[in-house]
Amino acid sequence: MTDLVLGIESSCDDTAAAVVRHGREILSSVVHTQAAEHAPFGGVVPEIAGRSHLRSILPVIDEALAKAGVRLDQLAGIAVTHRPGLVGSLLVGLSAAKALAFTRGLPLVGVHHIEAHVYAATMEAPGEVSYPCVALVVSGGHTALYRAESPLHMTQLATTLDDAAGEAFDKVAYLLGLPYPGGPSISDLAEQGDESAIPFPRYRAKDGSIGFSFSGLKTAVLYHVRGGDALAPTPPPEAIPRRADVAASFQAAVVENLVRPTLRCARDQGVSQVLVAGGVACNNRLREVLGARGREAGLQVFFPSPAYSTDNAAMIAGLGWQRLAAGARDGWDLDAQPS
């Protein structure tokens, strides 16, 4: 078996392909983002996403192979995201992967998108991550803590009662009249604001359990923007007073809502390392606060670089290689699963 794997990712609004050697060495990673197509709607529109993947999938795969200087017949196999995600989007990548694998006689492996995000945090730190460890996944669709026994074995320990952290960033950005995706725009505006200006609420579960919730925070921002009157119309962006302070104070509340449960979870699990994954892992304030508070608690916290925090196919090829090396193979009946 050669050790080159082609990874294909199309679970949400990014069409991506990558070639990775030995599960770690990224030879190419191509991402075609649909952000501009969804921006007018303030979030991902599934029907637009599926059609856009169809247009991009083959050019993106060709580009990844060309950039890596690799031919299909040199591959050990093809790895593809088959869950979780938007079914119409997943099916595009899955169909392309099946067609290529079938016609070239290559092994096919399905990869779990969330496990791949966590794997991304280990790809740039070879040899440094030891298992078991705790993983915090913070993306547009997920906010959850896992215990990872190995790259291929993860158990969910806690999740969100309502929104995902990235979704909260996107919705609050929309409310503040900032462009989609909301995470980067809020983070940029927050740099000019005072994060202690508005005491937005921090979430604590009534029963003391570890978990996440962002809906109360989102509602508090809405009330604040409407001047305390829930029934008042949302003012136009330029009429929102101290918008940078709102952005910074909201971001501080999200960061606190993520950091506290993560540190508690790592302590309860008796681990010394935490992996952080998903688009919200790009957030600079989260990196600073979790990094610093983790160090104080004797924890090593690993973040992927921003390009491998958001959706990409290098993480799919990397984890796919781990599955192939462990002897896994999927059949042509491999199906797309929303969750």
Stretch that binds ligand KG4, among 46-54, 135-143, 218-226, 314-322 (CB under 6 A): 135-143
Interface residue with Zn ion, options 167, 245, 311, 330 (CB under 5 A): 311
Tell me if 286 sits within 8 A of 258, measured CB to CB.
yes
State the minimum distance, in angstroms, from the CB of residue 248 to ligand KG4.
12
Quick check: 181 binds ligand KG4 (CB under 6 A)? yes
Which residue minimizes CB distance to ligand KG4?
183
Which one-letter DSSP state was computed for residue 200? P
Minimum Å gap between C-beta 16 and ligand KG4 is: 10
Question: Would you count residue 14 as binding Zn ion (CB under 5 A)?
Answer: no
- The amino acid that residue 251 corresponds to is Q
Residues with Cβ < 8 Å from 271, sequence gap 6 or more?
132, 133, 134, 147, 299
Which window, 52-60, 128-136, 234-242, 273-281, contacts ligand KG4 (CB under 6 A)? 273-281
Q: Is 311 in the site for ligand KG4 (CB under 6 A)?
A: yes
Q: Which of 63, 294, 259, 269 is nearest to 148 (CA)?
A: 269
Closest CA to 234 of 99, 39, 78, 42: 42
**Please, is 293 exposed, middle or buried when counting C-beta atoms within 10 Å of its C-beta (0-12, 13-18, 19+)?**
middle
In this structure, what are the phi and psi dihedrals at residue 291, rounded to the nearest 5 degrees? -60, -50
Report yes or no: 154 and 118 within 8 Å, Cβ to Cβ. Answer: yes
Should residue 139 be labelled a site residue for ligand KG4 when binding is judged by CB under 6 A? yes
Q: Does 93 sit near ligand KG4 (CB under 6 A)?
A: no
Helices marked H in the chain: 35-38, 46-68, 87-104, 113-123, 165-175, 182-190, 215-225, 243-269, 284-296, 306-309, 314-325
Partner from Zn ion, ligand KG4, none contacting 283, C-beta within 5 to 8 A by type: ligand KG4
Judged by beta carbon distances under 5 to 8 A according to partner kind, the member of ligand KG4, Zn ion, none in contact with residue 211 is none
Site track for Zn ion across 123-162, x = CB under 5 A: ----------------x-----------------------
For residues 175 and 229, the answer to whether their CB atoms sit within 8 Å is: no
- Which residues have C-beta within 8 Å of that of residue 67, sequence separation ≥ 6? 19, 27, 28, 30
Q: Which does 280 bind (CB under 5 to 8 A by kind): ligand KG4, Zn ion, none?
A: ligand KG4
Residue 304 interacting partner from ligand KG4, Zn ion, none (CB closer than 5 to 8 Å by kind): none
Nearer residue to ligand KG4 within complex by CB, 107 or 181 = 181
Asked if residue 151 binds ligand KG4 (CB under 6 A), the reply is no
Do 170 and 183 meet the contact criterion of CB atoms below 8 Å apart? yes
DSSP string, 235-251: PPGGGSTTHHHHHHHHH
Question: Residue 193 touches which of Zn ion, ligand KG4, none (CB < 5 to 8 A by kind)?
Answer: none
Question: For the chain, how big is the Rg over CA atoms in Å?
Answer: 20
Does 324 bind ligand KG4 (CB under 6 A)? Our answer is no
Stretch that binds Zn ion, among 23-31, 226-234, 240-248, 304-312 (CB under 5 A): 304-312
Size of residue set near Zn ion by CB under 5 A: 2
Binding segment for ligand KG4 (CB under 6 A), chosen from 58-66, 150-158, 164-172, 266-274, is 164-172
Residues that bind ligand KG4 (CB under 6 A): 12, 139-141, 166, 169-170, 181-184, 187, 278-280, 282-283, 310-311
